[in-house]
């Protein structure tokens, strides 16, 4: 049985002071989530990681990106040992905004996934097609490459969490229907099963893209969707609380 998971991706939002306010309110969120047997977490900007860890380390706290190398001349980057030193144990990899604005590729994501796993950290690997790819009907080809290249060399897939986020649904209010989301999440599991056998059934696969308190329930009812990666609706405590309540 896969435990449900809700992750709020804050993107480039919230100052440290705003993060502290959320963290203080998060004890109640955690209590409700525990009662419902749901794991919850957030991926804040780097500067807010320490704030969250200081106030409520029981949340899953993840970075939004990592560099795959330990150190070196890579201005503006943050390494895995730096995150580990803080106590961060998760990171997003390959969010579509990183792919679009920062030229991340399936191959560069693969380096990050492997480096995180080597350091006993959990990669939350994001995949999803663009609007153009969706309209051309090539979603499954795109997802296949993202999964096969991005996870190449991964030995124990149970250590990985996957998020299917169609690019056309992110921040647009045009969420994928529950049928589309389930079809692709089931396809991802099928791809994983071909490589990893029965362990594929233990991998948590999330849907992301305009998930709101009023639509999260429909996704959670689908057999291959184990939770949600939420942007805008994860920013306020009230809305985060409603997401948990409706899961
Ligand atoms: P929205 O929930 O704001 O559409 O963002 C989704 C997302 O990109 C989460 O990573």
Task: Give 229 Cα–ligand 1 centroid separation in angstroms.
Answer: 7
Q: pLDDT of 91-118, one tens digit each? A: 999 999 999 999 999 999 999 999 999 9
pLDDT at position 173: 84
More confident site: 24 or 172: 24
CA–CA separation, 131 and 78 (whole Å)? 31
User: From atom 7 of ligand 1, which residue's Cα is the shortest distance away?
Assistant: 231
Kindly state if the Cβ of 235 falls inside 6 Å of ligand 1.
no
User: From atom 5 of ligand 1, which residue's Cα is the shortest distance away?
Assistant: 231
| Per-domain boundaries in the chain | 4-246
Domain 4-246 indexed as CATH 3.20.20.70? yes
Task: Give 86 Cα–ligand 1 centroid separation in angstroms.
Answer: 25
Give 76's contacts (C-beta < 8 A, 6+ positions apart).
none
User: From atom 2 of ligand 1, which residue's Cα is the shortest distance away?
Assistant: 231
- Please state whether the predicted TM-score (pTM) of the whole model is above 0.95: yes
Task: Give 178 Cα–ligand 1 centroid separation in angstroms.
Answer: 16
The number of the ligand 1 atom at minimal distance from the alpha carbon of 211 is 2
Q: pLDDT of 59-80, one tens digit each? A: 999 999 999 999 999 999 999 9
Kindly state if the Cβ of 211 falls inside 6 Å of ligand 1.
yes
pLDDT band (50, 70, 90) for residue 22: very high
CA–CA separation, 11 and 16 (whole Å)? 13
The number of the ligand 1 atom at minimal distance from the alpha carbon of 97 is 8
């Amino acid at each position: 049985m896969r435990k449900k998971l809700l992750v709020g991706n804050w993107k480039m939002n919230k100052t440290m002071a705003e993060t502290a306010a959320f963290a203080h309110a998060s004890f109640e969120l955690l209590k409700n989530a525990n009662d419902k047997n749901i794991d919850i977490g957030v991926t804040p900007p780097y500067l807010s990681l320490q704030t969250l860890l200081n106030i409520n380390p029981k949340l899953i706290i993840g970075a939004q990106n990592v560099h795959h190398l330990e150190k070196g001349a890579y201005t503006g980057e943050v390494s895995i040992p730096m995150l580990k030193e803080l106590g961060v144990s998760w990171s997003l990899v390959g969010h579509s905004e990183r792919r679009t604005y920062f030229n991340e590729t399936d191959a560069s994501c693969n380096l990050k996934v492997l480096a995180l796993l080597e350091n006993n950290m959990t990669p939350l690997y994001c995949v999803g097609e663009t609007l153009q790819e969706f309209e051309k009907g090539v979603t499954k080809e795109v997802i296949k490459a993202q999964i096969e290249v991005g996870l190449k060399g991964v030995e124990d897939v149970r250590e990985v969490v996957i998020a299917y986020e169609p690019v056309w649904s992110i921040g647009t209010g045009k969420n994928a229907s529950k049928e589309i989301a389930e079809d692709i999440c089931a396809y991802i599991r099928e791809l994983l099963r071909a490589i990893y056998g029965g362990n594929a059934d233990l991998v948590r696969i999330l849907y992301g893209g305009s998930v709101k308190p009023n639509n999260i329930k429909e996704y959670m009812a689908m057999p291959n969707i184990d939770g949600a990666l939420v942007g805008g609706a994860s920013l306020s405590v009230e809305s985060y609380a409603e997401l948990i309540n409706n899961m």
